[in-house]
Amino acid sequence: MDGNFLLSSTSTRNDLSSLIFLDLSNNLLKSSPMFYWLFNFTTNLHFIDVNGNLLEGPIPDEFGKAMNSLEYLSLCNNKLKGKIPSFFGRMCRLQILDLSNNKLNGEFPGFIQNSSWCSRHIFRELNLSYNQITDKIPKSIRLLSELEILSLQGNSLESDVSESHLSNFSKLYYLDLSGPSFPNWIQTQNSLIKLDISDNGLNDLVPAWFWNKLQTLYILNMAHNNLIGSIPNMQLKLPFRPSILLSSNKFEGKVPLFLLQASELLLSTNKFSDFSCGNMIDTNLATLDLSHNQIKGQLPDCWKSINRLLFLDISSNELSGKLPISMGSLVNLEALVLTNNSLMGELPSSLKNCKNLIMLDVSENMLSGPIPSWVGESMQQVIILIMRGNNFPGKIPLELCYLKRIQLLDLSKNKLSEEIPPCLNNFTALSEKIINRVETESRVYWYNSTYYEIYNLFSYSYYEIHITWMWKGVERNFTHPELILLSIDLSCNNLIGEIPQEITNMVGLVSLNLSRNYLSGEIPSNIGNLSSLESLDLSRNKFYGRIPSSLSQMDFLQKLDLSHNSLSGRISLGRHMDTFDASCFEGNVDLCGKQLNKSCAGDQSLVKPEKAAGHGEYYVFYEAFYMSMGIGFFAGFWGLLGPLLLWKPWRMTYMWFLNKLIDFLLVMVEVNLAKH
């Protein structure tokens, strides 16, 4: 009954006393009624799986008293709290106990030290990972001598695990632990087939003897630590073709050839400086991730020897020179990621043999020459095509219109010219209305069609997609396939002509960026047909005419940039159009409207009359002029009359001067009158 969204019942009545197998995983069951409902199962119930529910609080002691026949118990992926009960040590038939991904706390469970003889010799699997268990791992753990699987990762355990802890585990084949020093006790373990010591803060050299353990492993995961040093180039045979995950460490030097016998080899985010595929004869390597290292020089021309590759990521290194012709021998390749290097020259024509490519990313290099027509003719399975930031000149080849499955096309930051091909509406995946639209926490949308096509491709691999592109005016790094968007970016080129009318038929499009080109003409009046659009950037072109009123019909539009064109007329209001600020429309001198705080011809002033003077173009000048007059009058008045009023000698001198001046004027008047 798993995955049916069952709700807890308040009834504890249970009439299924003969039941042996009970699976209630992935429902909505809660703790209190659930545990008490199970109490009635006594002698016959052997299997209980209630993982992925809403169980909260402590595990009641009564549960252990009732479950005497239990062999398998999974309570993982709930919200259980409190200490791990001691009754587990008295359950003589319990072989598998999974309490992972809860909030269980306290010291390491004492049920191991106090366990009965029978339980010690029957326990096969113990998973306590990702809880809040503290203190030290007791040496009594070695009493569980029949353990095959032990997982304690993701707790707050204080001490390293030593050989004295695990020397009794002759059957252990899966181990998932943590500790700051490299676990040398692994040297005594001869039955391990899966080893996961990832994300444990290991800060140490890996001893040379350890790499011999790869001969018996199916999975080795030491990713996300601080492991240092180089890996010795040993003559080893890896018969089980293990998945080897060493990403996010500080390994350096050359990648040894024996690692290429793996089925998956993830070495990203280290300090490797050299790589060669050598002359491997027998290899099943399907995934190779060398991204974010320090590999220099030209790519080796040896790819024929590892031609079973499905995923190849060599991005963010220091590679230069041309792509080797032998890369065309990777006929099974589904993802090729070469972004952020210094690769030069044209794409080799041998790549047209890679007809199964679903993702091709050669962005941020120095590649040149026209975009080959065979990209569209031969790679018709492509969903993601990113060629941003190169020196590709000339026109966009019409053959790209054959890519009917494409969902992300990024040709920005190149030297592309001429017109946008009208046949882009042949992109079927972008021309179909998306029905199932789900909003994620990061305000990015994924679509069922995209999710299943891309996620299912990578789901059987540990490889994780990384895509960097411009989203709503900000360059973002997407690391999950469910965040792949339905987008076209042709910005920062030399494109001319009008926007093809056919683009308005791409009703599934989520983001369209045509900014920083030389496009002209009017924006298509029916651009509102792009009803799924969230981001539209047409800035820094030569568009003229009115802004189409149909833009207001685009309910999901969050980012709009029409700035620095020659648009004119009124900016429409209504719905969300009045939420865009002036920066979205600036640089269009003939635009008007509320968004620009600029009235249109025939409108009443957009500002109140009593405040109009405060917004005139000479307002600052008049304000300074009147302020200067006031200050000047004040200074002149008190500079002249102040001394006369406050100092008597000056006041007497001033009065004497006035008397003399009056006498002089009277004499002059009388003289003038006498002459006439």
Say if residue 55's pLDDT is above 80: yes
Tell me the average pLDDT across 495-509.
Answer: 93
Say if residue 72's pLDDT is above 60: yes
Mean pLDDT, all residues of the chain: 81
For the stretch 486-500, pLDDT in tens is 899 999 999 999 999
Quote the pLDDT of residue 122: 77
Say if residue 648's pLDDT is above 70: no
Neighbours of 47 (CB within 10 A): 15
Its sign, for the CA torsion 154, 159, 160, 166, is negative
Among the residue ranges 291-305, 452-466, 584-598, the one predicted with the least confidence is 452-466
Q: Which pLDDT band holds residue 379 (cuts at 50, 70, 90)?
A: very high
Tell me the average pLDDT across 329-356.
Answer: 95
Quote the pLDDT of residue 658: 67
Instruction: Report the alpha-carbon distance of residue 205 to residue 226 in Å, rounded.
Output: 9
For the stretch 519-577, pLDDT in tens is 999 999 999 999 889 899 999 999 999 999 899 888 889 899 999 999 999 988 877 78
Evaluate whether 299 touches 323 at the Cβ level (below 8 Å): yes
Say if residue 453's pLDDT is above 60: no
Quote the pLDDT of residue 617: 45
Instruction: Report the alpha-carbon distance of residue 533 to residue 527 in Å, rounded.
Output: 10
pTM: 0.73
- Among all chains, which residue has been given the structure tokens 């007329």? 569
Evaluate whether 331 touches 307 at the Cβ level (below 8 Å): yes
Neighbours of 444 (CB within 10 A): 18
Q: Which pLDDT band holds residue 444 (cuts at 50, 70, 90)?
A: very low
Pick the more confident residue, 633 or 584: 584
Averaging pLDDT over each range in 146-150, 152-156, 214-218, which range is the top one? 214-218
Tell me the average pLDDT across 291-301.
Answer: 94
N-to-C CA span, the chain: 132
Q: Which amino acid is located at 500 in the chain?
A: P
By C-alpha distance, which of 261, 255, 180, 250 is closest to 220?
Answer: 261
By C-alpha distance, which of 330, 218, 196, 317 is closest to 268?
Answer: 317
Quote the pLDDT of residue 613: 42
Say if residue 611's pLDDT is above 50: no
Alpha carbon distances (Å) from 71 to 2, 38, 78, 92, 399 = 19, 15, 20, 9, 62
Tell me the average pLDDT across 151-156.
Answer: 81
Instruction: Give me the count of residues in the chain.
Output: 676
Q: Which pLDDT band holds residue 149 (cuts at 50, 70, 90)?
A: confident
Instruction: Report the alpha-carbon distance of residue 390 to residue 211 in Å, rounded.
Output: 41
Pick the more confident residue, 500 or 453: 500
Q: Which pLDDT band holds residue 618 (cuts at 50, 70, 90)?
A: very low
Averaging pLDDT over each range in 268-272, 283-287, 431-435, 646-650, which range is the top one? 268-272
Quote the pLDDT of residue 352: 95
Tell me the average pLDDT across 289-315.
Answer: 92
Evaluate whether 544 touches 568 at the Cβ level (below 8 Å): yes
Say if residue 262's pLDDT is above 60: yes
* Every domain of the chain and the residues it spans: 619-675
3-state secondary structure of 209: helix
Instruction: Report the alpha-carbon distance of residue 459 to residue 265 in Å, rounded.
Output: 16
Radius of gyration of the chain (CA): 38
**% of the chain beyond a pLDDT of 70:** 75
Say if residue 342's pLDDT is above 90: yes
Instruction: Report the alpha-carbon distance of residue 247 to residue 250 in Å, rounded.
Output: 9
**SS in 3 state form for 487-533?**
EEECCCCEEEECCCHHHHHCCCCCEEECCCCEEEECCCCCHHHCCCC
Q: Which pLDDT band holds residue 452 (cuts at 50, 70, 90)?
A: very low
For the stretch 174-226, pLDDT in tens is 777 656 678 777 887 777 888 888 887 788 899 999 999 899 899 999 999 99
Instruction: Report the alpha-carbon distance of residue 365 to residue 466 in Å, rounded.
Output: 17
**SS in 3 state form for 107-152?**
ECCCCCCCCCHHHHCCCCEEECCCCEEECCCCHHHHHCCCCCEEEC
Alpha carbon distances (Å) from 658 to 209, 638, 662, 663, 669 = 115, 19, 6, 9, 17
Neighbours of 79 (CB within 10 A): 14
Instruction: Report the alpha-carbon distance of residue 506 to residue 523 in Å, rounded.
Output: 15
By C-alpha distance, which of 256, 221, 214, 220 is closest to 237?
Answer: 214
Instruction: Report the alpha-carbon distance of residue 20 to residue 93 in Å, rounded.
Output: 14
Q: The tokens of 82 are what?
A: 């409190």
Sequence-distant (≥ 6) Cβ neighbours of residue 589 within 8 angstroms: 566
Evaluate whether 34 touches 7 at the Cβ level (below 8 Å): no
Say if residue 93's pLDDT is above 60: yes
**% of the chain beyond a pLDDT of 90:** 42
Averaging pLDDT over each range in 285-299, 416-430, 587-601, which range is the top one? 285-299
Instruction: Classify residue 586 by its DSSP letter.
Output: T
Quote the pLDDT of residue 167: 63
Evaluate whether 403 touches 431 at the Cβ level (below 8 Å): no
Averaging pLDDT over each range in 24-28, 340-344, 505-509, which range is the top one? 340-344
